[in-house]
Amino acid sequence: MSKTPFLRRHHWLVRATHWLNAVLLLGMIGSGLQIYNAFPHFGIRGEPYLPNPWDDMGFPNAVRLGGWLAGGLNWHFALAWPFAITGFVYLLYLGLSGEWRSILFRPSDLPKAAQMQLYYLRLRKEHPPQGKHNALQKGAYSFIILLGVLSVLTGFAIYKPVQLFWLVAAFGGYELARYWHFWAVWLFVGFSLVHVLMVFLVDPASLRAMITGKYKGRFPSHD
Amino acid sequence: MTDFRLSRRDLFRLGLVAGPASLAVSCGWQGGPLQPQLQAVSRFNDWIGEKLFVSNSRLAPEHPVSERTPPEHFPVYSRTRPPARIAVPEDWALEVGGLVRNPQRLTLAMIQALPRITYTVKHHCVEGWTAIATWTGAPLSTVIALAEPTAEARYLRFDTLDAGYFNGWDLKSAMHPQTILAYAFNDGPLGPQRGAPLRVYSPIKLGYKLTKHLSRMTFTSERPGGFWEDKGYPWLGGI
């Protein structure tokens, strides 16, 4: 065992919001799929439905939360509150603490992300230098934050399409807003799978750091 | 060299989070013991909805008649499946009472003699589908003005010819300019499936709030329940 000390890596707010939203997201998706089951299509009735691998397909009981449509709606609109508030608290922390600098993907990160991807494909021998997160991570984390915001916005659009007519119009109308809201789910699922995989494959010490806040692993530098 | 393996403690911590989370979403859990809390949040959301999301100056957009959904693609739902045949009595009239100064008994002819509104609007079902159709009827606000509700009246209860089916509205949404007592659908009179002889229609609420086969309207001070609402559907149903 090396004698390097543990570094303070994640503020308790980051850790708390991370795990809280992970659990809440499961509830949002479970109740969302329960709602989807009531009308498992997208588009205009009487016209061909929009492309959807799960068109006309109900999701199994095991992944649904709520039992039936009313239950799904109640869970969804109840969990939406802590989900949105937790997300907002995290964004507030990111902004006020300056931590956003270690997360935000900027245009200058594009070539660095390419180099990182080449390394993961074993086409580049040396690990590119990085700060707290590498450029691909910045891309992923910036993207998932944006996805969270879009999920909430499309959610509001389909929740109040008449009162928030301007919001629903920005997404191309009610039917399309509902479509984007659904695709966000699969992007979240895809991200989560890759995210968990990378934690265990690349830097398991990061898991301990996200629980205790203290890090002793391969990438000790900070931005 | 860094140790890549997770310690038992790390796995334990991971389980602490993953365990309850998977239990919660597995087996389509309805949330049994948490139902009262879920209902309380639903009522809180209704309160926010009434305060923030009911604007009587916000009109739902109207569509050209060419955009109507073919009626065979606009489902009709009923309390029962298949829908019960609702017999309309020869002497049907809409009873308007409760906390009002002028109770009313309005026949269809009287309602049709009132000012009429026709619009082609988008219908939103709680299930997530939409359909466009044309509705014609008397503004509910006109009938409310005839009845003159007292200051204590805050809600409107709708009773129907379908025994057991009823629900209630907030008075503000009832006064919305696009809320009507509809007696015509697309190019003809309201059919038996669509809610004959009279139904509530408004593009500002979800379909299950748009009560069919009306028989009575009662102004109340206490919030009325509703057939679907008492089973757990959101009471306000506003969009």
pLDDT digits (tens, 9 = 90+) for A12-36: 999 999 999 999 999 999 999 999 9
Q: Which residue of A has its CA nearest to B37?
A: A78
H or E, element range at B122: strand B117-124
The answer to whether the Cβ–Cβ distance between A73 and B58 falls below 8 Å is no
Contacts of B114 (CB under 8 A, 6+ apart): B138, B139, B142, B143
Instruction: Collect all residues of chain B within an 8 Å Cβ-Cβ radius of residue A81.
Output: 41
State CA B126 to chain mean position distance: 9
Of A62, A73, A178, which has the smallest distance from its Cβ to B234's Cβ?
Answer: A73
The answer to whether the Cβ–Cβ distance between A45 and B27 falls below 8 Å is no
For CA atoms A157, A160, A162, A163, the dihedral sign is: negative
Instruction: Collect all residues of chain A within an 8 Å Cβ-Cβ radius of residue B23.
Output: none
The residues that bridge with B106 in the sheet, in sequence order, are: B94
pLDDT digits (tens, 9 = 90+) for A133-156: 999 999 999 999 999 999 999 999
Distance from CA of A91 to the nearest CA of B (A): 22
Q: Residue A58: what are its φ and ψ, rounded to 5°?
A: -80, 150
ipTM entry: 0.93
The answer to whether the Cβ–Cβ distance between B122 and A174 falls below 8 Å is yes
State the virtual CA torsion across A27, A31, A37, A39 in degrees, nearest 10.
-130
Distance from CA of B181 to the nearest CA of A (A): 20
Interface list for B 67-86 with A (CB within 8 A): 69-70, 72-74
* Cβ–Cβ < 8 Å for A161, A175: no
Distance from CA of A202 to the nearest CA of B (A): 8
A66 Ramachandran zone, left/alpha/beta (phi>0; psi -120 to 50): left
**In terms of pTM, does the model score above 0.80?**
yes
Contacts of A183 (CB under 8 A, 6+ apart): none
d(CA B128, CA A37): 10
> Which one of A6, A45, A174 would you mutate to disrupt binding with B, by most B Cβ within 10 Å of its Cβ?
A45
Q: Indicate whether B14 pLDDT > 70.
A: no
Residue A4 is predicted with a pLDDT of 72
Distance from CA of B101 to the nearest CA of A (A): 33
Nearest in space to A174 (alpha carbons), one of A197, A191, A154: A154
Q: Indicate whether B20 pLDDT > 60.
A: no
Q: Which residue of B has its CA nearest to A18?
A: B17
Q: What is the CA radius of gyration of chain B?
A: 23
* Cβ–Cβ < 8 Å for B174, B156: yes
Interface list for A 135-194 with B (CB within 8 A): 158-163, 165, 174-175, 178
Residue B212 is predicted with a pLDDT of 97
d(CA A182, CA A151): 9
Q: How far is CA B20 from CA A24, A68, A86, B209, in A?
A: 11, 21, 19, 36
Interface list for B 208-227 with A (CB within 8 A): none
Q: Which residue of B has its CA nearest to A217?
A: B2
Q: Indicate whether B231 pLDDT > 60.
A: yes
Distance from CA of B172 to the nearest CA of A (A): 14
Percent of chain A beyond pLDDT 70?
98
Q: Indicate whether A2 pLDDT > 60.
A: no
Q: Is some CB atom of chain A closer than 8 A to the CB atom of B228? A: yes
Distance from CA of B21 to the nearest CA of A (A): 6
- Please give the average per-residue pLDDT across A53-82, as a whole number: 96
Q: Is some CB atom of chain A closer than 8 A to the CB atom of B56? A: no
Nearest in space to B31 (alpha carbons), one of B238, B232, B210: B232
Q: Is some CB atom of chain A closer than 8 A to the CB atom of B33? A: no
**What one-letter code names the amino acid at B21?**
A
pLDDT digits (tens, 9 = 90+) for B148-165: 999 999 999 999 999 889
- Please give the average per-residue pLDDT across B52-80, as a whole number: 94
Contacts of A135 (CB under 8 A, 6+ apart): A105, A109, A110, A112, A113, A115, A116, A128
Burial of B128 (0-12, 13-18, 19+ CB in 10 A): buried
In this structure, what DSSP letter does residue A164 have? T
Residue of higher predicted confidence among B163 and B119:
B119
Instruction: Collect all residues of chain A within an 8 Å Cβ-Cβ radius of residue B60.
Output: 162
The answer to whether the Cβ–Cβ distance between B4 and A165 falls below 8 Å is no
d(CA B189, CA A199): 64
Q: Residue A153: what are its φ and ψ, rounded to 5°?
A: -65, -45
The answer to whether the Cβ–Cβ distance between A163 and B10 falls below 8 Å is no
H or E, element range at B41: helix B35-52
How many A/B residue pairs have CB atoms within 8 Å? 136
* Cβ–Cβ < 8 Å for B144, B99: no
pLDDT digits (tens, 9 = 90+) for B124-135: 999 999 999 999
